[in-house]
Amino acid sequence: MMLKLAREYGLALRVAGRSWIEKVQSQGFPTNDYDFLDSYLLDPVNKSARYAQMLRELPMGLSEWAVHPGLDNSELLAIESDSKHVRQADFDFLMSQEAKDIVKEEGIILLDYRALQVAWKRN
């Protein structure tokens, strides 16, 4: 049903697990080549160093990396008071010159689901 709805409405899919990735790709649809990475649970204390390492070790192919940027302002802290500055750490790294330099040095092409959606609509 998920594949049928995605095909009908031209929606890109987030899939997890080798079997799902292979199933979707075998039908000619673009999807991530590896399980997606969710960085929310990484320790904010050494997150920047871990992010730099993860970017440098990113395998060839299409990868999805879920990050959760936000500012530790009163609005965010009101809805997520126990965030331990997770979102601020994500924001700080994503906006850093270090991140921009690594993306450029490693030849990483950043995209969002809109690019995949266009490819889905062609199938």
- Give the DSSP per-residue string, 48-97: HHHHHHHHHTPPSS---EE------SHHHHHH-TT-TTHHHHHHHHHTSH
| pLDDT 10s digits, 43-62 | 878 889 999 999 999 999 88
Sequence-distant (≥ 6) Cβ neighbours of residue 5 within 8 angstroms: 11
- pLDDT at 122 (0 to 100): 67
- pLDDT at 31 (0 to 100): 83
- pLDDT at 11 (0 to 100): 77
Closest C-alpha among 9, 54, 70, 3 to residue 31: 3
Q: Which residue range(s) make up the domain with 114?
A: 2-122
For the whole model, what pTM was predicted? Answer: 0.78
Whether 55 and 102 have beta carbons less than 8 Å apart is answered as yes
- pLDDT at 93 (0 to 100): 93
- pLDDT at 14 (0 to 100): 82
Amino acid in position 64: E
- Calculate the CA dihedral of residues 89, 91, 94, 96 and round it to 10 degrees: -80
* CATH number of the domain within which 46 lies: 3.20.20.370
- pLDDT at 51 (0 to 100): 93
Q: What is the mean pLDDT of each run of 10 residues along the chain (123 residues)?
A: 82 84 85 85 85 93 88 85 78 95 95 77 66
- pLDDT at 123 (0 to 100): 62
CA distances from 54 to 24, 67, 92 (A): 25, 12, 16
How many domains are there within the chain? 1
Q: Provide, rounded to the nearest whole percent, the portion of the chain with pLDDT above 70.
A: 94
- pLDDT at 30 (0 to 100): 78
Closest C-alpha among 111, 121, 120 to residue 24: 120
